[in-house]
């Protein structure tokens, strides 16, 4: 069974970890893995050059989470992290005080940068870095091109990470732009992973700047709309608020209500030219589920808080069940 | 009084520290500095790109030594150093086991790389980094161009640092080449620092790959030969062996004997088209001094082991005295 996940950072990484636990339980291959094949297509719109090294926040969060190295409470970054380099960098008056650059995390950035400078595309670099961790999934960047999300704010535009981390998404945003989008192409394997999938999952990632950015890469949205596999999404909004992060600010910026039903309608049903076949919401959003169902959506309300791996595995099971793909 | 020093790494840095102590003692300005103005022109031939960041070994050693941050016993690198990043980098199969990339040192490389990527020339980057440390000298790279020393060995050529650090200079070298030399120019201020000096000092740095590389930059050797200031050198060879490092391997590669007199003759007297007016050797090399004196050299034998700052200050005093420039 082939599963393809379009993921941002923490939410998508945690969901994928639960999905893997489910698949290992139901389709074990006897050596701790799974006979299912999971491809994770990661958002690269948050990527940036920082002090000359290439930082890929979502790829890193996925790698650390699935590789068992993540700072669990924080959700991103490495556990047992330190900041010797960044503290000293600030003594030069150069560090970004608002951006954590951990020593262990920096090793990943340096390794990535060296391989990029050797001329390898990001997808190959990612495969090489991931091989250290034994992720149990194939991890693909959405694109090998440098397509960075910038946020339109008063007076100009700033890199997404500056808006998100420095300003905590509190600076009013009037929209987003993917700098470098024109001429970019999906990374090798991305379109195929959508075409050949048995099921595609949109995990509870940011629908605007994570999943939305992946879908904006030329060819990706089209492949998702065209795949024969069912596409099921899990709402990142519970009870009118994002579970984590500040997705509400992103939704507001593009005129979408922070509501489980509004996010579904933003994605749209594939029969209507959108990208979803089914939508899983939290039990707190039964009203949203009912409204969507009245409009013909395949929708279900279940507990969707990813409190631990077992609970998340059940959410993944509910999502696959909704499109009849539970193995 | 203006003093210009053409320096490699450890030897030149320690000599300059002693020189500064001497000048502060003899020409104090009352606030811990000196009314003398010292310019250090640093070799940049050892520089390299490593994991996407720019490493400048000699500039760093000078900066840390004069800034009071050097690992004293080691002679290079930062004290209280750690290797969290490089250990983790090696877990990706990417670190160079033979090259120490300390966490604090890495902060310098990252700061430098960020400023270079902003488009600043190395000389401006160096001034900005140096401003953190309060060196008491003006620190200039020999050139803003990327001119890297490669070593000609059996089967091809390798970066100087690979030959020096990884192979401990034990791989037979047939010569050196400065890759990028054609078209390079001296960094702003270098030629002027030689033209306007009251005295120029060649500290006990490697005459081949440190001072030799500085002099190879178009315009630098010419400026040294033409300056009205006296030029005095301190022999890096004592008793037929380099005091530190493996300068003997470099000298052998270019057919020069590892001998205090042979090094002087390699540099040559300015009256004969060379770069030196006077040469300070160790008391162990009285015979070399006598031979040079017989040939008309201005030469003196004194203790030249830089065992501590006070001793080194005396060596600097002896060097300046030899050309009648002791303030």
Cα–Cα distance between B34 and B317 in angstroms, integer?
15
- What is the per-residue pLDDT for B245? 80
Cα–Cα distance between A112 and A128 in angstroms, integer?
9
Cα–Cα distance between B258 and A160 in angstroms, integer?
59
Indicate the burial class of B307 (C-beta count within 10 angstroms; 0-12, 13-18, 19 or more): exposed
Indicate the burial class of A106 (C-beta count within 10 angstroms; 0-12, 13-18, 19 or more): buried
Identify the domain containing residue B142 by its residue range: 2-69+121-146+182-322
Residue B198 domain flag: yes
Residue A234 domain flag: yes
Residue A166 domain flag: no
For residue A314, count other CB atoms closer than 10 A to its CB: 17
Predicted confidence (pLDDT) per residue in A233-279, tens digit: 999 999 999 988 888 999 999 999 999 999 999 999 999 999 999 99
CA distance B138 to chain A (A): 17
CA nearest neighbour of A137 among A39, A55, A224, A204: A39
Alpha helices (H) in B118-219, listed in sequence order: 122-131, 160-161, 190-195, 211-216
Which site among A69, A114, A127 would you substitute to test the B interface, given the most B Cβ atoms closer than 10 Å to its Cβ?
A114
Tell me A138's DSSP state. Answer: E
Which site among B64, B101, B103, B105 would you substitute to test the A interface, given the most A Cβ atoms closer than 10 Å to its Cβ?
B103
Alpha helices (H) in B41-134, listed in sequence order: 57-66, 84-91, 103-117, 122-131
Tell me which chain B residues have a C-beta less than 8 angstroms from the C-beta of A110.
51-53, 85, 89, 94
**How many structural domains does chain A have?**
1
Indicate if the alpha-carbon torsion angle A280, A177, A62, A169 is positive or negative: negative
Q: Where are the beta strands (DSSP E) in chain B?
A: 2-7, 37-42, 48-50, 53-55, 138-141, 148-153, 156-159, 175-179, 199-202, 231-234, 237-238, 241-242, 278-282, 298-302
Which site among A88, A127, A130, A133 would you substitute to test the B interface, given the most B Cβ atoms closer than 10 Å to its Cβ?
A88
Inter-residue long-range contacts of B154-160, CB under 8 Å, 24+ positions, other chains counted: B159/B48, B160/B45, B160/B46, B160/B209
Residue A139 domain flag: yes
> What is the b/e burial string over A232-257, where b = at least 16 CB atoms within 10 angstroms of the residue's CB?
bbbbbbbeeebbbbbbbbbbbbeebe
Residue A176 domain flag: no
Q: pLDDT of chain B along its 327 residues, tens only?
A: 999 999 999 999 999 999 999 999 999 887 778 889 999 999 999 999 988 899 999 999 999 999 999 999 999 999 999 999 999 999 998 867 778 789 999 999 999 999 999 999 999 999 999 999 999 999 999 999 999 999 999 989 999 989 988 888 889 999 999 999 999 999 999 999 999 999 999 999 999 999 999 999 999 999 999 999 999 999 999 999 998 888 899 999 999 999 999 999 999 999 999 999 999 999 999 999 999 999 999 999 999 999 999 999 999 999 999 999 999
CB contact under 8 A, A114 and B84: no
Residue A112 domain flag: no
Cα–Cα distance between A169 and A305 in angstroms, integer?
23
* Token pair listed for A56: 């890929």
Indicate the burial class of B270 (C-beta count within 10 angstroms; 0-12, 13-18, 19 or more): middle
- What is the per-residue pLDDT for B236? 96
Conformation bin of residue A234: beta by default, left when phi > 0, alpha when psi is -120 to 50: beta
* Low-confidence residues of chain A: pLDDT under 70: 95
Pairing between β-strand A148-153 and β-strand A175-179 as defined by DSSP bridges: antiparallel
Tell me which chain A residues have a C-beta less than 8 angstroms from the C-beta of B111.
51, 89, 92, 94
Inter-residue long-range contacts of A323-326, CB under 8 Å, 24+ positions, other chains counted: A323/A199, A323/A230, A323/A231, A323/A232, A323/A277, A323/A278, A323/A298, A324/A230, A325/A1, A325/A198, A325/A199, A325/A230, A325/A232, A326/A26
- What is the per-residue pLDDT for B246? 86
Which residue matches tokens 């004196």? Answer: B293
CB contact under 8 A, A82 and B86: no
Residue A268 domain flag: yes
Residue A22 domain flag: yes
Asked if the C-beta of A93 comes within 8 angstroms of chain B's C-beta atoms, the answer is yes
Cα–Cα distance between A56 and A47 in angstroms, integer?
4
CATH number at residue A215: 3.40.50.10680
């Amino acid at each position: 069974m082939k599963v393809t996940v379009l993921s941002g950072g923490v939410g998508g990484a945690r969901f994928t970890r639960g999905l893997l636990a489910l698949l290992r339980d139901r389709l074990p291959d006897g050596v701790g893995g799974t006979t299912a094949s999971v491809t994770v297509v990661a958002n690269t719109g948050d990527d940036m050059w920082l002090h000359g090294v290439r930082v890929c926040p979502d790829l890193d969060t996925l790698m650390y989470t699935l590789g068992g190295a993540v700072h669990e409470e924080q959700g991103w970054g490495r556990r047992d992290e330190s900041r010797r380099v960044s503290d000293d960098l600030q003594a030069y008056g150069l560090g970004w005080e608002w951006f954590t650059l951990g020593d262990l995390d920096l090793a990943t950035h340096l390794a990535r940068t060296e391989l990029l400078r050797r001329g390898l595309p990001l997808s190959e670099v990612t495969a090489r870095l991931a091989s250290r961790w034994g992720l149990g999934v194939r991890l693909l960047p959405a694109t090998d091109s440098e397509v960075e999300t910038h946020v339109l704010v008063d007076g100009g535009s700033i890199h997404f990470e500056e808006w998100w981390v420095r300003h905590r998404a509190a600076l009013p945003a009037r929209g987003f732009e993917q700098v470098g989008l024109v001429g970019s192409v999906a990374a090798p394997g991305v379109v195929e992973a959508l075409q050949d999938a048995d099921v595609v999952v949109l995990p509870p990632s940011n629908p605007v700047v994570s999943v939305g950015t992946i879908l904006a890469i030329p060819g990706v949205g089209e492949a998702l709309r065209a795949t024969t596999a069912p596409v099921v999404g899990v709402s990142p909004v519970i009870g009118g608020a994002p579970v984590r992060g500040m997705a509400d600010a992103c939704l507001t910026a593009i005129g979408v209500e922070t509501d489980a039903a509004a996010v579904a309608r933003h994605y749209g049903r594939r029969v209507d030219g959108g990208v979803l076949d089914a939508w899983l919401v939290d039990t707190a959003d039964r009203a949203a589920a009912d409204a969507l169902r009245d409009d013909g959506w395949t929708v279900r309300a279940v507990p969707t808080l990813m409190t631990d791996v077992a609970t998340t595995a059940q959410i993944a099971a509910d999502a696959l069940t909704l499109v009849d793909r539970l193995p």
